[in-house]
């Protein structure tokens, strides 16, 4: 696909400075720009590259003032970073604009779907599946019985959506995601042997949710595991049965949330965080990477460590942690002095 400076400026409501007929067919970082590529300058640290880049077109802020000669065609916008992000989104939409049903696939006679469906080869749609308009379902996707999926949903290759799951509009489910597998529910008998507790609930995923590759979300024992609108989950995250994650919360890779825990709105949770079950985490909470959360957390707290302390308290304590050998040495010297006196 090729785009001219005129087309790009029209999409971004920008002003062209240079050759309006200049064409690009790929994207590049400014320091790696080559002929035929489009780049952008937003961070002042990279300003020097605008004079040496070989990119054909560069997006810059309107207030950018050139100090040397620039050969690249410029498109001036209010915010270069946001404009480039908008362009990336548009590029993805064009690139992934696929429709039609490939062969072979299995589609139950009772399954229904909206217009502009793309269904990749070797996919499976079970009984009573309902899919909205403009859905893009890549090859080898399994969608179980009674699943409901909204409009503009993208499900990448190899994902599995188990029965009874409900997925809202504008969601992205990446490869290897498993939604709706049984929760980890077992009960021991008097001999210490474990019997499985039936998991009869489902998973509800609201609008505008992104699930990273390899993430798993377990169905509830009773009721629903709920991922509220706007949640973003990174790769390889485990969400256990009956968990609820509030609106616009973001969780980084390799974190795990145990059963029946409730997480509030607008939280930011770092990578490799472990959260025990049956607790409540408030709104606007910040949890640093590799922390272990074993208690209820109030709104607006910032935590670090395992077991987690307040962020400020952890940093103050860490000064003493790293000096502990020297502190013990001084203490022992002082103790000997007292004994000798």
The pLDDT confidence band at residue 341, using thresholds 50, 70 and 90, is low
pLDDT by residue (tens digit) across 199-245? 999 999 999 999 999 999 999 999 999 999 999 999 999 999 999 99
Whether residue 319 is contained in a domain is answered as no
Name the active-site residue from 178, 241, 252, 297.
241
3-state secondary structure of 217: strand
Average pLDDT value for residue range 163-173:
98
Place of tokens 């950018």: 64
Whether residue 193 is contained in a domain is answered as yes
Whether residue 269 is contained in a domain is answered as yes
Whether residue 155 is contained in a domain is answered as yes
Q: Are 212 and 236 in contact (CB under 8 A)?
A: yes
241 catalytic, yes or no? Answer: yes
Structure tokens at 111: 């399954």
pLDDT by residue (tens digit) across 6-47? 999 999 999 999 999 999 999 999 999 999 999 999 999 999
Domain stops at, among 95, 113, 128:
95
d(CA 77, CA 62): 5
Peptide bond into 288 cis (omega under 30): no
pTM of the complete model:
0.79
* Number of independent structural domains in the chain: 2
Domain span at residue 240 reads: 100-314
CB atoms within 10 A of CB 130: 16
Q: What angle do CA 51, 54, 56 make, to 5 degrees?
A: 105
d(CA 291, CA 261): 16
Is the same domain home to 64 and 170?
A: no
């Amino acid at each position: 696909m090729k785009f001219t400076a005129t087309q790009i400026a029209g999409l971004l409501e920008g002003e062209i400075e240079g050759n309006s007929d200049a064409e690009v067919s790929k994207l590049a970082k400014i320091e790696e720009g080559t002929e035929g590529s489009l780049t952008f300058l937003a961070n002042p640290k990279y300003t020097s590259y605008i004079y040496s880049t070989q990119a054909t077109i560069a997006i810059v802020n309107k207030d950018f003032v050139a100090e040397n000669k620039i050969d690249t065609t410029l498109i001036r916008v209010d915010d270069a970073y946001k404009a480039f992000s908008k362009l990336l989104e548009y590029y993805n939409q064009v690139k992934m604009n696929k429709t039609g049903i490939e062969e072979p696939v299995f589609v139950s006679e009772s399954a229904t779907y909206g217009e502009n469906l793309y269904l990749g080869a070797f996919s499976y749609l079970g009984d009573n599946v309902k899919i909205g308009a403009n859905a893009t379902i890549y090859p080898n996707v399994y969608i179980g019985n009674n699943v409901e999926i909204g409009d503009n949903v993208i499900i990448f290759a190899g994902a599995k959506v188990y029965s009874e799951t409900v997925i809202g509009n504008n969601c992205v489910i990446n490869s290897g995601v498993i939604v709706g597998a049984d929760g980890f529910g077992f009960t021991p008998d008097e001999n210490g042997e474990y019997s499985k507790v039936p998991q009869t609930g489902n998973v509800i995923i609201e609008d505008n949710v992104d699930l990273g590759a390899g993430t798993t979300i377990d169905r509830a024992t009773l009721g629903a595991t709920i991922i509220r609108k706007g949640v973003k989950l990174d790769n390889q995250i485990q969400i256990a049965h009956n968990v609820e994650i509030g609106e616009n919360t973001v969780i980084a890779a390799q974190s795990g949330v145990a059963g029946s825990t409730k997480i509030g709105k607008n939280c930011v949770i770092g990578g490799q965080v472990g959260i025990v079950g049956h607790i409540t985490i408030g709104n606007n909470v910040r949890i640093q990477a590799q922390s272990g959360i074993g208690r209820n957390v109030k709104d607006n707290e910032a935590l670090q460590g395992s077991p987690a302390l307040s962020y400020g308290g952890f940093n103050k304590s860490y000064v003493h942690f790293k000096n502990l050998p020297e502190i013990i040495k001084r203490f022992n010297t002082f103790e000997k002095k007292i004994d000798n006196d």
